[in-house]
A and B are shown apart, each in its own frame.
Chain A
Amino acid sequence: MAQITIENLGKVYPGGTRAVEDINIDIADGEFIVLVGPSGCGKSTLLRMVAGLESITEGTCSIGGRVVNDIEPAERDIAMVFQNYALYPHMTVRQNLAYGLKNRRTPKAEIDRRVAEAAEILQIGSFLDRKPRALSGGQRQRVAMGRAIVREPAAFLFDEPLSNLDAKLRITMRLEIKELQRRLGTTSIYVTHDQLEAMTLADRLVVLNKGRVEQIGTPLEVYRNPASAFVASFIGSPAMNLIAARAVPHLPGTGHAGLIGIRPESLIPSADGQIEMTIDAVEELGATRLVHGHVGGEALTVTMPADADLPETLRLKVDPQDIHLFQAESGARLARA
C-alpha cells in the first residue's frame, strides 16, 4: 500500500502530439481515485504512464515515495486490470492467477495460499481449472481482478474494466469493486468515461479534458461546484443546461460574456415561476421524466416527477443558489458575489 504522487506529468509522442500536460495529483494511501473524461482526453495515457506501459516524457510519478519514471512495470509494485481482461487464453484460471507470482519466484505454497484467498474473495473457486474461454464476461472480469489481487500490490490500476460487460452486470460489478477496494484498502486508480461509474466509485474524481486536469474533488464537490463549464456539462446526468448570457451582472469580470448553468433537477415547476418554457419533447425514464423545451432561443432540459401534469408551456423557477456562472471563453467558474 502506498501513496502515489504525480507531479507536472506530461506526455509528448515522438511525432509531437501532446497527450497529457502538466498533471498534478496527490493520491493518499488507500484512496480510490477515478480518472474520468471523454474519449481522447488522455485518461488512459495517464494511467498507462503510472503503470509504466507508456514512457513519461515530462514530470515525475512516484509510488510509495519512490520515483518510478524509469522502472519497469513489473517492478513498480502495481497490478492492472484491462478492459478486455487480457487473460492468457491457453492457461487455466489458476495458472492465470499464479503466472505473475511464478515469475517473481514466489514459493509454491505461498502462491497456492494467495490463489485460494483470491478465489475465495471473488468466488471464482469453482472454475479455477477452466480456461478463460469457458467463462462468461463477468467471470472473466473477476479472474482479471483476481490476477491483480494475488499480487498484493501497492496499487491497483483499472483501465475501463467494466466497459465490455452488459449494463446490469456493470452495476453489480461496480458495487463489488467498490466493496473489494474498501476491504483490501489498496490505493486504486480507475479510468472510465462513464460519469455515473465515476461518481459512484470515487473517493475523489479527477476530471480530464484535452490532456489537462479540469477539476479534482470528491464526487459531491465536483457535482455541486463544477470548476468549469466542461465539468458542469460532463458530470451529472442529464447534463447541466448551459445558457449563453451577454453580460453577467454583479460579478467580477463583468462586461465579459458568460454562461449560466442550471442543472435540470434545479428547475422546479411552479405557478409563480419567472421562466416560461415551451415543451418540445418528453423522455420517460420511469421514476422521472426529462422534459426538453426552449425559452427564447435557448434549449432547456428539466427533470420532473413522472406523475406531474404536462401543460403546453411550463412555468419554472430556480433557487439563485443553484445557478452556476462561467466565463464564456475559458469556461472557468465565476465566484458568486
Chain B
Amino acid sequence: MVENRPFLNFLAHVVLIFGVVVVALPVWVALVASTHESNAFLRGTVPMWFGDQAVHNYSRMLGTGISTSGMPPVGWMMFNSLIMALGVALGKIAISLTSAFAIVYFRFPFRMAAFWIIFSTMMLPVEVRIVPTFKVVADLGMLNSYPGLIIPLIASATATFLFRQVFLTMPDELTEAARIDGAGPMKFFRDILLPLSRTNMAALFVIMFIYGWNQYLWPLLITTGSDMYTIVAGIKRMSTVADTDPQWNYIMATAVLAMLPPLLVVIFMQRLFVKGLVETEK
C-alpha cells in the first residue's frame, strides 16, 4: 500500500490475524490434544491448553505405537513415508529432467506429439486412473512394496513442463558455445544444464517431497502389511478402530509428528526454493 494510514494498518492486521487463526486453529487443537490423556477429547469440551501427558504420548508413539490396532511404531511409518517421499521427489526430478532435455534439445519425429501426450497426462492424476494403475501394479507383483508406492507416482507432466520452460530460457549461444567447446549432448546436460537448473530442482524437490509425503489414497490402497504403512495413511487407520473409541491423543501426536518433515524441508530449503521459482537470469 502506498498510503500509511493507521486505520488501514489496523484493518490489514485484523484480516491477517483472522486468516492465521482460521488456518492455525486445527493445528493448535492437534498440538494440544497430543498432550492430554486419551479421554480428554471425548468429554464434550475440546481442551484449548496443553495437558501434562506430552512426554508419555510422544514416547509411546515413537516407541511401541498403538499395538492394539496392529499399527507399527510411528518411527517406522515415518521411515516408510520418507522413502516414498524421497523416491517420488527424486524420481520425478530425474525423469522430468531427462524428458524435458529430450523434448527441448533433440529433433526427432513426433517430438511435439510426445510433448502433448505428456502434457495431457496432467489431467490424469492417480485418483482418476487408480483402478487401472492398481491392476498394473498388482500384476507386476509390486503391492506392498516401496517400488509399488513410488513408481506409479513418479511420472510428472508438471515437472517436465517446468524443466522445459527452464531449458527454453537458456540462451542458444550457450548450447552453441558448448558444442564448439566439444561437449557432446550428455556432457552438455551434465556440465551445463544440470548446474544451471539447480535452484529449479530444489524448488521442485520441496513441492514434490511434500506431494509424496502427503500421499494418502494410493498408499492406503496398496499397503496391506503393517510394515509398509506410511504415516499419513497410518493416521487414518488409527482413527478407524472397531469396538472402541479412537485414541485421539495418540492420533494427534502422530499427526504432529507427520507434519514435521515437510516443515523441515520447507524451512531448510526455503531460500533455494524461492530462488528457484523467481530467478530468471541465466
Contacts and interface: CB of A to CB of B under 8 A. Distances in A.
Interface of A: 51-53, 72-75, 78-80, 82-90, 99-100, 103-104, 133, 147
Given A88-B192, A90-B196, A103 B181 contact: yes
Contacts of A90: 192, 195-196, 198
Nearest to B191: A99
A314 B174 CA distance: 55
A180 B181 CA distance: 21
A328 to B, nearest CB: 41
A86 B179 CA distance: 12
A216 to B, nearest CB: 26
Contacts of B181: 74, 99-100, 103, 147
A99 B177 CA distance: 10
B176 A74 contact: no
Contacts of B180: 51-53, 73-74, 78-80, 100
Given A90-B195, A90-B196, A82 B173 contact: yes
A228 B177 CA distance: 36
A88 B174 CA distance: 7
Contacts of B198: 90
Contacts of B109: none
Contacts of B191: 88, 99
A68 to B, nearest CB: 13
Given A51-B180, A104-B182, 13 more contacts: A73-B179, A74-B179, A80-B176, A80-B177, A82-B176, A86-B173, A86-B174, A87-B177, A100-B180, A100-B181, A100-B182, A103-B187, A147-B181
Contact of B173 (A52, A78, A83, A104): A83
Contacts of B192: 88, 90
Indicate the member of B171, B174, B182, B187 with the most A CB atoms within 10 Å: B182
A156 to B, nearest CB: 11
B282 interface: yes
B173 A103 contact: no
Contacts of A86: 171, 173-174, 176-177
Contacts of A52: 179-180
Nearest to B196: A90
A74 B182 contact: yes
A184 B282 CA distance: 32
A52 B179 CA distance: 9
Contacts of A103: 181-183, 187
B3 to A, nearest CB: 37
Contacts of B174: 86, 88
A85 B177 CA distance: 9
A89 B282 contact: yes
A2 to B, nearest CB: 16
B171 A84 contact: yes
A133 B177 CA distance: 17
Contacts of B173: 82-86
